Amino acid sequence: MSVINVLTLDGLRILLDALRDDGHALIAPQLQDGVIVYDHVEGLDALPRGIEDIQSPGHYQTRQTSDPSLFHYVVGPHSWKKFLHLAKLQLWQAKTLNDEIQITAPEPSSDKTAFIGVRACEVKAIALQDKVLMHGDSVDGAYKARRDNAFILAVDCARAGGSCFCVSMQSGPAVNGNFDLALTEIISPDHIFLVRSGSEAGDAILKKAPHRRATPEEIVKGQEIVAQTAANMGRAMPDTNIPALLSQNLQHPHWDRLASRCLSCANCTMVCPTCFCTTVEDVSDLAREEFSRERRWDSCFNLDFSYLHGGEARSSVAARYRQWMTHKLSSWVDQFGSSGCVGCGRCITWCPVGIDITQETQAFYDEQLG
Amino acid sequence: MSGSATIKRNHTDAPMVPRLARVRRHFSDAPDVVTLEIEMADARPFDYAPGQFNMLTVFGVGEAAISISGAPNGARLIHTIRDVGAVSHALTRLQPGDQLGLRGPFGMGWPIGAAQKKDVLIIAGGLGLAPLRSVLYHIVAHRTQFGVVTLLYGARRPEDILYPSEVEHWRQSLEINVALTVDHADASWRGRVGVVTQLIDQARFQPHNTLAMVCGPEVMMRFVASALVERAIDAQNIFLSMERNMKCAVGHCGHCQFGSSFICRDGPVLSYQKLRPLLKIKEL
Amino acid sequence: MAAEHAFMLSMHPFFKGLAPEAIDLVAGCARDIEFRRGQYICHEDDQADHFYILSDGHVALQISSPGRGARTFLTVGAGEVFGVNWLVAPYRWTYDAKALDDIKAVVLDATCLRRKCEADHELGYQLMSRVMPILIERLHVCRMQFLDLYLKQN
């Protein structure tokens, strides 16, 4: 699997068509309303060629450039959890028949998908959600079905995004981990894609598109592109034991300073590719003969998230911000063996007041009490 | 962690889908408190460990986590519910014959195995006696496996005392030392008035060979556990039953987190050793 | 520094009538301290190593529970003292104390005070006999609060 091949632009087009013919619904980056989102596409020509994104705390913008790259942008507000850990899911429904309630659960989905252009940080984020939802005592059957049926076509980042910091979270810019195929886009002298396979499914699809072995020069070029990206990261987490830093400073006054800026709008949790919290809602018809329960995304920033005994356990914004940040960077390690953050930078870009999680971690580091 | 907590798991493929159950009996314990005896529709015996809980669904209203208070003959379950919100209110209104949904059992129960050959202190505050009742049943059924067993129980007022006939039965059996107190009473009450921590001083136990199980409002548990440590019981041998907002009960929804623990999965029973540094953090 | 503290302590109601030599002993354990409004002075279950002599501002003594948050059961202000758990093992705070205004206080190091009281029982007696009336009064206040006398009777 360490063999590196080359696809031309046409070769990649054929590969995507092969995926589609194999029954996979293609989901790829699209430019909609000036934002890079993930949506269903027909084929390669739908990719937003030459679109560049400009991201910084609280800011997101795109513009058209003359660059021929298919993947000239980094990540937008969507993450692949949209298609794996659905925002809305019916858990069961029940009907009253002859005075007795019959409960039925929907069948897990058997739809096949192919995620096109998955970034290194996203491959890691998917693996983190796999750990939470599939590898504990309980398996989320709906997630597993979608996950097993998702083909991952990843791509190394040829540009550092304005907000991201994968290098300091050891989650990029080169794709690593669980993927089917991974590309490195090279635009000169020819527009080609280095391609490496990460699975048998990847091997099988690659066989259906014309490809050749990469030359040593091409491989070096690919490595240089990735190294260039890594060298241009705009921010980093402080080099310290972050889980211990946060767990030893739970009563630090800095949480109140953060709270004075945070709107508890929950944007960060919606765009974060690893946030997994959900809530449920029970509904019935007016005759109270049919019932169902729906699961929906939730956020620890929502006031009633921690509702208990007539009030919220985490009533202040400071407590809720602390819950999010310490879960992501500290508790997650105790719970699942690694940090919950992949350095994608979405929470920084999409925070309306531009709170930067790397800066805030640095602030705790600089002012630590314990 | 000293002592393994016994757990039983619900081994269906769909832990998020309720099983059908029916109310068989309904008892009014106290103002706002009801005990329901429930039977699974499929009549399969229900296996659980004391300290575990079920998620009970009132169709069309919602679901709530309620600890299991007993399972008298395997197929029937006892749940004591206090009316504190929409779902619990609906549960307290259920009558014999009404249907409800049940998922469970969930969670880590009381470390009964680790309590073998030790003195046992069972300390309950208010509704906290409900999840401890199943431990008391187990101890009474296997009495010779344990040393000196003491129940310390604090209720708000005399009329709020849960299961009064059983408490009296335990006291009179002479197998369990029982001390009772209430916070408020009028002159017709001849028993103790004060808080449950005050009962600890009078209790007989060998601190270095005692296991304590505590359940009640969090403030009460904090001060009881602290008092037990003052009486030379190791924090590793003190267990609290914690409570937090729950939606899924399988560690996937994120709501019940307390520090790094998922109360539904790592708890609700947790050792004071683990809890002590976290309990003092406001709004954790 | 100790001389300044000795002066301040001698003016504070708690130390009224205490002999100058005793005041000097106590001042040896003292330092000035300030808190900004909203700051926590101590947290429940922390080591109780300090005795606070308030000269400016109000402090809320609170206990927190999930769902109900922090509830104040008593406030203390200028001219008063708080923190008595330093007198009794295991020397742990049993409540949180939060500054309601900007606070100026003299804080006495409890380890230092306990040591001096052990060495000088007369000093110990003088401190205990000043702490006792405060505690007895607070116990009575607590009972009155507990009886909820303003609750509508029906």
Q: Would B13 be classed as within a structural domain?
A: no
A310 and C68 Cβ atoms separated by less than 8 Å: yes
Ramachandran sector of residue A223 (left: φ over 0; alpha: ψ -120 to 50; beta: rest) = alpha
For tokens 């705009």, what's the residue? A234
Compute the average pLDDT of residues A82-106. 95
- Residue among B222, B279, B282 whose CB faces C70 most closely: B282
Domain final residue, candidates B79, B106, B133: B106
| Co-location of B50 and B183 in the same domain | no
Confidence of residue C1 (pLDDT cuts 50, 70, 90): low
Q: Is B60 exposed, middle or buried (0-12, 13-18, 19+ CB in 10 A)?
A: middle
A370 touches chain C (CB under 8 A): no
Q: Is B225 on the interface with C (CB under 8 A)?
A: no
Range in A22-31, B225-234, C81-90 with the lowest mean pLDDT:
C81-90
Per residue in A112-128, pLDDT (tens digit) is 999 999 999 999 999 99
* B210 falls within a domain: yes
Residues B62 and B77 in one domain: yes
Whether B132 is in a domain gets the answer yes
B201 touching C, CB under 8 A?
A: no
Contact B16, A91 (CB under 8 A): yes
Domain count, chain B: 2
Residue B60 counted as domain residue = yes
CATH of residue B147: 3.40.50.80
Domain stop point among B66, B83, B106: B106
Q: Given an 8 Å threshold on Cβ–Cβ distance, is C45 in contact with B218?
A: no
DSSP B207: G
- Touching check for B17 and chain A: CB below 8 Å? yes
C-alpha distance from A79 to closest chain B C-alpha (Å) = 18
Best residue in A309, A317, A320, A323 to probe C by mutation, most C CBs within 10 Å? A309
Among B63, B251, B265, whose Cβ lies nearest the Cβ of A282?
B63
Taking an 8 Å cut-off on Cβ atoms, the answer to whether C65 and B230 are in contact is: no
In a domain, B217, yes or no: yes
B186 contacts: CB under 8 Å, gap ≥ 6: none
Whether B177 is in a domain gets the answer: yes
Chain C residues within 8 A (CB-CB) of chain B?
43-46, 63-66, 69-70, 89-90, 92, 94, 96
- Tell whether B165 and B267 lie within a shared domain: yes
pLDDT of residue B160: 94
Q: Residue C83: CB partners within 8 Å, gap ≥ 6?
A: C42, C48, C50, C51, C52, C93, C97
B123 plus B83 within the same structural domain: no
Number of H helices, E strands in chain A: 13, 16
What is the average pLDDT across B165-192?
A: 92
Backbone φ and ψ of B158, nearest 5°? -55, -40
pLDDT for C3 beyond 90: no
Q: Considering only CB atoms, which chain C residues are within 8 Å of B256?
A: none
- Return the pLDDT at A354: 98
pLDDT digit string, tens, across residues C71-126: 999 999 999 999 999 999 999 999 999 999 999 999 999 999 999 999 999 999 99
Q: Could you tell me which residues are beta bridge partners of residue A85?
A: none
| Shared domain check, B133 and B272 | yes
Residue A260: its chain C contacts at CB < 8 A? none
| Phi, psi torsion values for C79, nearest 5 degrees | 90, -5
pLDDT at residue number A127: 98
To the nearest whole Å, the CA of B282 is away from the closest chain C CA by 7
**What pLDDT is recorded for position A369?**
66
User: Which tops the pLDDT comparison, A180 or B185?
Assistant: A180
Work out the average pLDDT over A212-233: 97
Domains and CATH numbers, chain C: 32-146 (2.60.120.10)
Tokens at B96, concatenated: 């014999």
Q: Please tell me which residue, A191 or C8, carries the higher pLDDT value.
A: A191
pLDDT in tens, B37-95: 999 998 888 889 999 999 999 999 999 999 999 986 677 899 999 999 999 999 999 99
Task: Round to whole Å and give the CA distance between A95 and A93.
Answer: 7
Is C39 close to A253, i.e. CB distance below 8 A? yes
Residue B83 belongs to domain spanning: 19-106
- Residue B62 contacts A where some CB pair is shorter than 8 Å: yes
Strand partners for B47: none
Same-domain check for residues B142 and B39 = no
Tell me the two tokens of residue B115.
């309590």
At residue A245, does pLDDT exceed 50?
yes
Q: What is the predicted pLDDT for the residue at C149?
A: 82
With residues binned 3-state (H G I as helix, E B as strand, rest as coil), the percentages for chain A, rounded to 5, are 35, 25, 40
pLDDT 10s digits, B89-136: 999 999 999 999 999 999 999 999 999 999 999 999 999 999 999 999
pLDDT-derived band of residue A348, with 50, 70 and 90 as boundaries? Answer: very high
pLDDT digits (tens, 9 = 90+) for C31-80: 999 999 999 999 999 999 999 999 999 999 999 999 889 999 999 999 99
Is there a single domain that holds both residue B43 and residue B158?
Answer: no
- Which residues have C-beta within 8 Å of that of residue B11, sequence separation ≥ 6? none
Domain boundary among B52, B82, B106: B106
Q: Encoding tokens for residue C103?
A: 């606070």
Structural domain includes residue B220? yes
The verdict on B26 touching A (C-beta cutoff 8 Å) is: no
Hey, which chains touch A, using 3+ CB pairs under 8 Å? B, C
What is the predicted pLDDT for the residue at B7? 53
Size of interface A-C (CB pairs under 8 A): 22
Q: Which of A251, A256, A313 is opposite residue C67, by nearest beta carbon?
A: A313
Chain A residue numbers touching C69 (CB-CB < 8 A):
311, 315
Assess contact for B249 and B259: CB atoms under 8 A.
Answer: no
Chain C partners of A315 at a C-beta cutoff of 8 Å? 69
Q: Would you say residue B245 lies in a domain?
A: yes
Indicate yes or no: CB of B281 within 8 angstroms of CB of A100.
Answer: no
Structure tokens given for A241: 């034991």
Q: Are residues B263 and B190 in the same domain?
A: yes
B276/C66 touch (CB, cutoff 8 Å), yes or no: no
Measured between beta carbons, the chain C residues lying within 8 angstroms of A306 are 66
Q: How many CB atoms lie within 10 A of CB A106?
A: 14
Q: Which residue in B217, B244, B276 is closest to C65 by CB distance?
A: B217
Distances (CA, A) of A368 to A247, A306, A320, B128, B214: 11, 28, 20, 39, 35
Instruction: Determine the distance in angstroms separating the CA of A345 from the nearest CA of chain B, rounded to an integer.
Output: 22
pLDDT, position A288: 85
Q: pTM (2 decimals)? A: 0.93
Contact present, B137 and B87 (Cβ < 8 Å): no
Closest chain A residue to B247, measured at CA: A279
Work out the mean pLDDT of chain A and round it to a whole number.
96
CA A49/CA A33 separation, integer angstroms: 16
Give the Cα separation of A242 and A248 in Å (integer). Answer: 10
What per-residue confidence (pLDDT) applies to B3?
36
Extents of the domains making up chain A = 4-87+94-231, 242-366
